[in-house]
A = this chain, B = another copy of it.
Amino acid sequence: MPLDDRKKKILYAVITDYIMTAEPIGSRTIARKYNIGLSSATIRNEMADLEDMGYLEQPHTSAGRIPSDKGYRFYVDSILQNYLNNDPPISHNIREEIIAEFDEIVKRYARILATITRHTTVAKMPKLNPDKIKRIQIIPVASNKMILLVVTDTGIVKNYLLNFCQSVERDIFEFLNNLLNDKIAGKSEKDISEFLERDLRQMLGEVAFIADELIKTILLSLKQLQETDIYADGTSHILDFPEYKDLAKAKHFFNLLDNKSLLNEVLEPERDFIDVRIGSENKFEEMRELSIIKTTYKINNSVVGTIGIIGPTRMDYRRLINEINMMTKELSNLLSSIYNDEI
């Protein structure tokens, strides 16, 4: 049962109105404000149909209708469709103002985007070249303590303090040092974790009791090397929306922003083009009352990060899609031009 033209018109009217006002909207208002050319009674009937079909919902009897997630989805799809055809207007070039290194550039774009959209933005900045472990060094500190030093390709040094429940002899440390360098340095992540989980324990023989701590730490360092940084800006904009006058909801939102690992997953790139997740479409419970518009930014056509706009489900998709698209294009251009002929 596809929507006929009249239903579409009415659905659009409800959605655009609700996006602006955040108030349920009734048949009479539509008849007055939008010149559909139908009486309120007819519109009333159509709206009842749209509700049956799941595009609208009613907060309570005798209130107006509001769009459902399905309604928004329909709306967004038709926008995106349109969007693919005519190129969005490119903004004035803001590039001149930006002088900084990678992270800083992305943060600034996220900040600008937050300002112009008046929404909360989040950005994910992965490592440019995921680091490999170049060398491992063990430094005995006490008989049951050692520092594990991890040096990476790009010269980052991480160190970890390990405590063991029993003493370890000095020459064991020596042995360990050689073993780890042999098996880990320069190897791929897959090889390393395979070695750790399969071979290490038996190779350690009588000092197997240090294996757990060791494995845990090395795996952690691997994970940290691939870890991405999350940056949020314009967080207070959410409070501009009347639906967030409800403090419990606001609290929820700020909890979400504090939860970096969740955001990290939310920003995982899933589509190359602009990706819109509306309310219940979100994988995570915490996002079920929010929508996110996200898209990737690139260096020379390869994806290096994600940037997103978060807000209530009634966000102004049309405007925001346009703005995020514009900004990420700019960002990608700038990054590409800088990191083009990398030294």
Name A residues whose Cβ lies closer than 8 Å to a Cβ of B: 96, 99-101, 104, 137, 139, 141, 147, 149, 154-155, 158-163, 216-217, 220, 224, 233-236, 239-240, 244-245, 247, 250-251, 253-255, 257-258, 337-338, 341, 343
Contacts and interface: CB of A to CB of B under 8 A. Distances in A.
Given A245-B247, A258-B234, A160 B239 contact: no
Contacts of A220: 99-100
A159 B338 contact: yes
A7 to B, nearest CB: 37
A100 B160 CA distance: 6
Given A101-B159, A338-B161, A343 B149 contact: yes
A234 B258 CA distance: 7
A160 B99 contact: yes
A287 to B, nearest CB: 16
A205 B68 CA distance: 68
A288 to B, nearest CB: 18
A154 B154 CA distance: 11
A161 B245 contact: no
Nearest to A111: B258
Contact of A258 (B158, B163, B233, B247): B233
Contacts of A257: 235
A141 B236 CA distance: 40
A257 B235 CA distance: 9
Given A99-B217, A101-B158, A147-B338, A235 B250 contact: no
19 contacts: A99-B160, A99-B161, A99-B162, A99-B217, A100-B160, A100-B220, A101-B159, A137-B343, A139-B341, A155-B155, A234-B258, A235-B258, A236-B255, A239-B250, A239-B251, A239-B254, A244-B247, A247-B250, A250-B250
